[in-house]
Structure 1
Amino acid sequence: MTNNILPVIMAGGSGSRLWPLSRALYPKQFLSLTSSSTMLQDTVERLTGIPHSDPMFICNEEHRFVVAEQLRKENIAYRSILLEPEGRNTAPGIALAAFKAINEGEDPLLLVLAADHLIENTPAFQHSVMSAVVHAANDKLVTFGIVPHCPETGYGYIRRGDRIDDMSFMVSEFVEKPDVVRATEYVDSGNYYWNGGIFLFKASVYLNALKELSPDIYDRCSRAIAGAHNDLDFTRVDKTEFLNCPNVSIDYAVMEKSLSTVVVTMDAQWNDIGSWSALWSVSDKDVDGNALRGDVMVDQSTNSYIHSESRLVAVVGVNDLIVVETKDAVLVVDKNNTQNVKNIVELLKQKGRSEYLQHKEVFRPWGHHDTIAEGARYHVKAVTVKPGEKTATQLHYHRAEHWVVVSGTAKVTKGNQTVLITENESIYIPVGVAHSVENPGSISLELIEVRTGVYLNENDVVRIEEYGAGY
């Protein structure tokens, strides 16, 4: 019987409904929403108490450095970080993990988890997982049915069939998101569970089911893994093969069609935090029902969520309101209309605004940079380079750069010249000159970068050396 559990943590997605905290390049799984840790870090911590090997992470190409940095901060050991060139839903992503495990000579139980879910009752979560092991080890495809506490219309449902044991049933039917009348009927019947997108099965069992029920996904993912190669801490799959893979969920590709599907109940205070109102509902509140985070002051206000990231936010005489402030955006929305925040994100995209895409602070493998000020012909950033790290060697055709060291020592390559500059010293990088900066010291290098020129966009860059994957 196979009992080795390999957690497969899906860390993709864009999370537009929690804008402006969540951005396309920094979605909700990387945010600290309900604890001091991020949702990704909480997902890993939740595994404590379940016998398992180091987890495998699956994320989008554009999120790879954020994932690696968040794991590093918590000293989280991991088996690999698999990169998807573009999101192709859950069925292909899980197939990549299964193929990789099989190719490495193992056939573990894959515990598939989303990195952006809240589970407040960790012991109950762990109990459900361990109760499911016997079924997965006996070649069943296990999904976990979240015990519903209200007629939620935003989730799919699972209808249970014949009972197997106290917590387990054969799956009778997967049901799409219902209207409120049907959702109420489902909850009242006691025969339906929310579909939380958590799974447990042998890698080989999943692949065999995929080969039979969705052979096109099986074939494409098999070839994508066969053409994979390692890049720093990441595993890159064959891009052409994966991009030709259908965009299909595991439910549609396998679970709904298989006759070997078991649902194990889970009553663990699960929430996918799919909106600001959902986050308000699970947050700690004051006596007036207000959930407050950051530098916030309230007066004569009730049942609101107020979040401040970079400055004082004061609200007076408001009710059922969401107010979220970041360095570059402020959202104000009625708590009963938070599902439509995604409309604002779509409008930002249509207008070519950068606020939908990323925050002012951007993470790179060598450190991070944070926009301080910008205008028509200048752009000022605070740049931090980690000890022992180096930016890519690159040049720009339309902008010059001035670097001022605030803390630490910088080893600067400028054309054929290499110099050391330290605190309160500066260097000028003319237009068209290849350059890079390295931190040779044992403390973080902090510098101020001032860009000047007629064109300051990020695409004015020619990378000569991809050390550290760019700036």
Structure 2
Amino acid sequence: MTIHPILLCGGSGTRLWPLSRKSHPKQFARIMGEQSLFQVSAKRLSGEGFAAPVVLTGDPFRFIVTEQLAAVELAPQGILIEPEGRNTAPAILAAAFWMAQKDPKALMLVAPSDHLIPQADAFRETVQAAVPRAQEGDLVTFGITPTRPETGYGYLELAAGSDAQADSPQALARFVEKPEAARAADMVAAGNFLWNAGIFLFTAETLITAYRAHAPELLAAVEAALKGADTDLGFTRLAPEAWSEAEDISIDYAIMEKADNLAVMPYRHEWSDLGGWDAVWMESPQDMAGNATSDHATAIDCSNSLLRSETPGQEVVGIGLDDMMVIAMSDAVLVAPKAQAQRVKEAVAALKAKGASQAVQLPRDFRPWGWYESLIIGGRFQVKRIVVHPGAALSLQSHHHRSEHWIVVEGTAKVTVDDDVQLVTENQSVYIPLGAVHRMENPGRVPMVLIEVQTGSYLGEDDIIRYEDVYARK
């Protein structure tokens, strides 16, 4: 039986700020290793017995999804674009309707795309062991053997007579909300509680039936959003108006806590949702003093601390630190005790309140054609570094308030300025007058890098008039 992975990647991951931000959340970042959490998740749920993944994400991330999948040589079965985040219950139902159009009995393995599960083979074996129960009509959730009294996770209480160490699905008594420390310690000691991983296995028709029974109010809105969806460039854009009518609710609250055809599949190997920098420290290689450091970080007389520099060329040094976390980027630095890791989202809220762009925007802005970053910003000028992927092209556009000067520093650019088209190679430049209709393309096989100098009365990204765009952006 083929398993269809349903990868959820619409979250913002604010607890891993400043590396994870709304513009480029943690699932797409390289936090543990050279590949993003999303890439590792997609690879983990691929190979024999697995179909190509179905991805649910937001519009800003649709090209990041395709680019990162292509980088690990995977092609998606489908990409559903949520007009706005409405939590997991509407998203998973949309995927179930989408799958049911092809095969109502299709097995869906729903998984977040930002979890750390190092033993991929063991996880796939655990999933296969749960398949029979899912085919019989059960909603199977996956529970992790707890290794400590964790207050950041929800728990699953097994029914009497169930075995938390079993190699097959067990009966589930109830879901338990994130507990206080003392309660968490009691549950771990009891031995009949598992961490709630937020991973599920069921057939499309079983899940839709559960929604009819327990959350019928979601059916009409989600089904209408799918029926009214637009398709472009391989993306399925759910209809915004219908989607906005769907309740913002998790699948746990909408379905799982009400259903009576539940089973829990124990998973006894390493797992983490990397829900904070303390979890990243815990899962990272450490020196004899318990310090986890990145390539550009140095710990002197420190202990049990996390030191990371996320910007090449920027060195971070900690002296005499104990149980601290220091995360440095070119535009923001986080310093806090590890015990306060869950409060990082308060920092994001505080920055939003003061209007700081660092709350949501990375210095590097990712686009379908590549990325750019601002190097210098003045009152009437801005200097950017722009990187364009091989074969990619920016939109044909003009500006009301600025002119631009482009200097190619790597590769070759094909530049259109009104009726003139020319190739601009390394150490050559071209001027774009205010109001000129222009486009930049990379006709080569290597990334093209240029420096852009903007001058004008207004330099905002919304000063763009698009006449033609290969990425169907509005």
Alignment of 1:341-360 (within 5 A): 341-360=344-363
Alignment of 1:90-239 (within 5 A): 90-105=88-103, 107-161=105-159, 163=161, 166=166, 167-239=168-240
Partner of 2:298: 297
In the alignment, is the contact (CA less than 8 A) between 2:309 and 2:328 conserved in 1? yes
Matched, 1:425 2:428: yes
In the alignment, is the contact (CA less than 8 A) between 2:43 and 2:72 conserved in 1? no
Structure 1 residue 401, shift from structure 2 partner = 0.9
- 2:454 aligned to which of 451, 454, 458: 451
Matched, 1:376 2:374: no
**Unaligned 5+ runs, structure 2:** none
Structure 1 residue 387, shift from structure 2 partner = 2.3
Find the aligned partners of 2:48 and 2:211 in 1 and give their Cα distance: 27
SS at match of 2:440: strand
Find the aligned partners of 2:108 and 2:143 in 1 and give their Cα distance: 17
In the alignment, is the contact (CA less than 8 A) between 1:393 and 1:467 conserved in 2? no
In the alignment, is the contact (CA less than 8 A) between 1:50 and 1:130 conserved in 2? no
Compared with structure 1, are the counterparts of its residues 229 and 439 closer, same or farther at alpha carbon in structure 2 (3 Å cutoff)?
A: same
In the alignment, is the contact (CA less than 8 A) between 2:46 and 2:52 conserved in 1? no
SS at match of 1:270: coil
Q: Alignment RMSD, CA only?
A: 1.7
Matched, 1:314 2:317: yes
Partner of 1:461: 464
- 2:86 aligned to which of 79, 84, 88: 88
SS at match of 1:118: coil
In the alignment, is the contact (CA less than 8 A) between 1:410 and 1:439 conserved in 2? yes
Partner of 1:256: 257
The sequence identity of aligned pairs, in percent, is 42
Structure 1 residue 409, shift from structure 2 partner = 2.4
SS at match of 2:471: helix
Structure 1 residue 48, shift from structure 2 partner = 4.8
Find the aligned partners of 1:348 and 1:365 in 2 and give their Cα distance: 28
Structure 1 residue 105, shift from structure 2 partner = 4.1
Partner of 2:53: 55
Structure 1 residue 402, shift from structure 2 partner = 0.7
Find the aligned partners of 1:266 and 1:361 in 2 and give their Cα distance: 38
Deviations 1:230-256 (A, max 9, x none): 221321111111121111111111111
SS at match of 1:210: helix
Matched, 1:364 2:367: yes
Structure 1 residue 435, shift from structure 2 partner = 1.6
Deviations 1:75-120 (A, max 9, x none): 1122011111111111111111111111134531100111011113
SS at match of 2:159: strand
Matched, 1:406 2:404: no
Q: Which moved more, 1:343-352 or 1:134-143?
A: 343-352
Which amino acid counterpart does residue 465 of structure 1 have in structure 2? Answer: E
Q: Structure 1 length normalisation: TM-score? A: 0.95
Structure 1 residue 406, shift from structure 2 partner = 1.7
Find the aligned partners of 1:463 and 1:267 in 2 and give their Cα distance: 53
Find the aligned partners of 1:170 and 1:106 in 2 and give their Cα distance: 25
In the alignment, is the contact (CA less than 8 A) between 1:410 and 1:440 conserved in 2? yes
Which amino acid counterpart does residue 237 of structure 1 have in structure 2? Answer: L
**Unaligned 5+ runs, structure 1:** none
